[in-house]
Structure 1
Amino acid sequence: MTRLPSLTARDVIKKLKRAGFVFDRQAKGSHEIWYNPTTKRRTTIPNHPGVDIPKGTLRAIIKEAGITVEEFLEL
């Protein structure tokens, strides 16, 4: 199992954009929904500026995006 680095929401969003995701809509509070038109997948990102996303949440985001941890880290 690959170790995940500490990433902020901004870092995760940059990687998701490289994977083809686009901003879909603002959810409740500070959460954003991102959508990939190619794969038809959605994922929710908790966008708290300057705060690292917890490892479990990051794994869930990667799983919802339909990519592996290794692919995500290479983006």
Structure 2
Amino acid sequence: MPHFPALCYHDCVRLARERGFVFWRAGKGSHEIWMRSSDRRRTVIPHHGAAPIKRKTVKGILDDLQIDYRDLM
């Protein structure tokens, strides 16, 4: 089984934009809330520059974006 992908902020933003999400507002600290207006679906993306986001957090973001991680392989 392939490893779960390690993504950074820029990768997550690219995936969110491809699926129609737009920056909605800043969250607490270095987090951003992105929303898709068609179905009011939202996700929180931590903005830590080029540092990789923890895999469990990436899994939550991908679930919010309705992406199967195997599609990224």
Give the shorter-chain TM-score range.
0.7 to 0.9
Question: What TM-score, normalized by structure 2, do the two folds share?
Answer: 0.84
Could you tell which deviates more after superposition, 62-71 or 30-39? 62-71
List aligned pairs for 1:1-75, cutoff 5 A: 3-71=3-71, 73=72
- 2:32 partner letter: E
Unpaired runs of 5+ residues, structure 1, are: none
RMSD: 1.8
Unpaired runs of 5+ residues, structure 2, are: none
Question: What TM-score, normalized by structure 1, do the two folds share?
Answer: 0.82
Please state whether the residue corresponding to 1:59 is helix, strand or coil.
helix
Distance of 2:7 and 2:66 partners within structure 1: 19
Stretches of 4+ moved more than 4 A in 1? none
Distance of 1:67 and 1:22 partners within structure 2: 17
Bigger relative contact order, structure 1 or 2, given CA contacts below 8 A and separation 6+? 2
